[in-house]
Amino acid sequence: MQRSTKLVHNCALTDAATRASSPAIQRGSTFDQRPGGGPSPYAYSRVSNPTRAVLEQTLCELEEGRHGFAFASGMAAIAAVFQLFEPGDHVVLPHDLYGGTFQLCESLAAQGRLAISYADTSSLADVEQAIRPQTRALYVETPSNPCLRIADLKALAALGRERGLITIADNTFMSPYLQRPLSLGFDLVIHSATKFLGGHSDVLAGAAITQREDLADRLHQVQIMYGGILSPDDSWLVLRGIKTLGIRMDREQQNAMQLAEFLARRPDVSQVYYPGLSTHPGHVLHMEQADGPGAVLSIELSPAVRVQDVVAHLQLAIFAVSLGGVETIVSHPATMSHGRVPAEIRQRMGVSDQLLRISTGIEAIEDLMADFEGALTAASSRG
C-alpha cells in the first residue's frame, strides 16, 4: 500500500463496534467492571481510552513503531520522555533545539535533574565529542528549527547503538508521511501533532512512539502517573487530520519549493534555507533519508529591509507561531519561538533578527508568490 493510501485506510477507518466510517468519541471516564459484565480492555480513561487508543495505534502504524502514546501537547510528550532520565544522566541536544524543549532542558539542568550539552547534530564528529560516560541519550530534530540543518539519522542511530544510548528524534517538521526515524534505527520518535498531523491549526496534541518494550513500559507509567493525556475529542481531531496528511503535505511541499526558488531570486532576500534546494548543504543527505523536503523554509532578509515592514504588508499569510497548518504561517523566531533563548545562544543557533520562518499552506501558489512579492516590494521601497 502506498503511504498516502495508508493515511486514509488506517486502523481508524471503521469503528470496530458499529462499523461507522469514523471512530466513536468515547468520553466515558470510567468503565463498568462488575462481575459477569464481560471483560473490557478499559478501566479508566487516564490509563487507556478507546478513542485515544485508535490514534495511538494509527501513529504506531505510520511511524513503524509498536507502542504509541498520545499527550495533551507536543511539550507534554517531550516532558514525559525526559522523565525517563535520572539525576546524573547526561543528554546530548542539538544546539538549534526547538525553543520550548530548550527551556524545558535548561530548567531540568538548573534544578540538577539532568546534565545536558549541546552539539551541532549535523556533524557526527561534534556529537561524538559531546558524549560522556554518563551520557544516556542523543536527541535530534531534522530538519532543525528554524535553520533547517540536516542530521544523519542512520549514522546517529548507529553511534547511539554502539555507545548504548537512547536515540530520540522529534519528527514534527517531517511527519511520518515524509520521514520515519524508527525505520532508520532510532529508539523513540516524538511529535507535536499540533503541526502537520493535526494540520488545521485547531488542536494541540503530542505523541511519543517506540518499538522498544522497555521504553514503552516506562512511558506508559509516566503517562498514567503524570496524566498529561490527549482528550478523546482531540484524539478524534488528530485522526481526522491524519486522513488528509498526504494530500496536504504534497501541496504544501510543492508550494514551499516554488516559494523557495522565487524568494532565492529576490535581491531583498539574502539567504533561503530549504532542504529542497540543491544549494542547501544537507540536500543530498536529506533526500536520502526522507521522501521530500517538507513545507517549512526560512529566509534571511537583506539588512536594508525591516522585518516589521514585510510582515505588515503580508495579506494572506498569518503572522504567528506554529506551523503545519493549511494556511501559510510566517513567524519571526528571534521574538517568537526563540524569544526566551539568550541572544548569544540565538546567534550560535543562527537565529538572526532578520530571519523569518515560513510554513507554506495549501493556497494557490500564484497568490502566495504575489503576497510575498507585494510585501517585499513595499518593505524595500520604504528602506
Ligand X SMILES: *Cc1c(COP(=O)(O)O)cnc(C)c1O
Which residues form the catalytic set?
46, 98, 170, 195
Residue 101 vs 231, nearer CB to ligand X: 101
Name the residue number minimizing CB distance to ligand X: 74
The verdict on 195 binding ligand X (CB under 6 A) reads: yes
174: contact with ligand X by CB under 6 A: no
The answer to the question of residue 144 lying near ligand X (CB under 6 A) is no
Select the residue interacting with ligand X from 170, 187, 234, 252 (CB under 6 A). 170
Q: Judged by CB under 6 A, does residue 63 bind ligand X?
A: no
How would you classify the pairing of strands 166-170 and 135-141? parallel
The residue within the footprint of ligand X, chosen from 45, 58, 73, 231 (CB under 6 A), is: 73
Alpha helices (H) along 191-342: 213-226, 232-243, 245-264, 283-289, 307-313
Nearer to ligand X, 106 or 141 (CB): 141
String of contacts with ligand X for each residue 112-141, x by CB under 6 A: -----------------------------x
50 binds ligand X (CB under 6 A): no
Side by side, the strands of the sheet bearing 329-331 are 269-273, 296-301, 355-359, 329-331, 318-319
Contact status: 228 vs ligand X (CB under 6 A): no
Cell of 172: 514534527
The verdict on 194 binding ligand X (CB under 6 A) reads yes
Determine how many CB atoms are found less than 10 A away from the CB of residue 284: 11
Phi-psi region of 150 (alpha: psi -120 to 50; beta: other; left: phi over 0): beta
Burial of 219 (0-12, 13-18, 19+ CB in 10 A): buried
Q: Does 317 bind ligand X (CB under 6 A)?
A: no
Least separation in angstroms between CB 189 and ligand X:
12
Determine which residue in the list 53, 59, 75, 127 makes contact with ligand X, applying CB under 6 A: 75
Q: Provide the b/e sequence for 196-207 (b: ≥16 CB within 10 Å).
A: bbbbebebbbbb
Residue 206 within binding range of ligand X, rule CB under 6 A: yes
CA 7/CA 22 separation, integer angstroms: 14
> Is residue 359 a contact point for ligand X (CB under 6 A)?
no
Question: Is the link from the previous residue into 146 a cis peptide, with omega within 30 of 0?
Answer: yes
Give min distance, CB of 99 to ligand X, in A: 8
What is the DSSP secondary structure assignment for residue 357, as one 8-state letter?
Answer: E
The span from the CA of 371 to the CA of 259, in Å, is 11
Binding span for ligand X by CB under 6 A among 70-78, 83-91, 211-219, 352-360:
70-78
If residue 300 lies in a helix (H) or strand (E), which one and from where to where? strand 296-301
Dist. CA 301–CA 139, nearest whole Å: 30
Select from 172, 210, 298, 354 the one that contacts ligand X (CB under 6 A): 172
When asked if residue 252 is in the footprint of ligand X (CB under 6 A), the reply is no
Task: Kindly state whether residue 100 participates in binding ligand X, applying the rule CB under 6 A.
Answer: yes
Phi-psi region of 38 (alpha: psi -120 to 50; beta: other; left: phi over 0): left
Q: How far is the CB of 148 from ligand X (least distance, A)?
A: 12
The answer to the question of residue 145 lying near ligand X (CB under 6 A) is yes
Does position 149 interact with ligand X (CB under 6 A)? The reply is no
In angstroms, the CA 207 to CA 214 distance is 17
- Give the whole-angstrom CA distance, residue 335 versus residue 347: 13
Residue selected from 60, 204, 216, 259 as contacting ligand X according to rule CB under 6 A:
204
Segment interacting with ligand X (CB under 6 A) among 48-56, 67-75, 217-225, 307-315: 67-75
Query: Which of 98, 139, 186, 196 is the binder for ligand X (CB under 6 A)?
Result: 98
Residue 95 within binding range of ligand X, rule CB under 6 A: no
Segment holding 71, helix H or strand E: strand 67-71
Q: Would you tell me which residues interact with ligand X (CB under 6 A)? A: 73-75, 98, 100-101, 141, 145, 170, 172-173, 192, 194-195, 204, 206
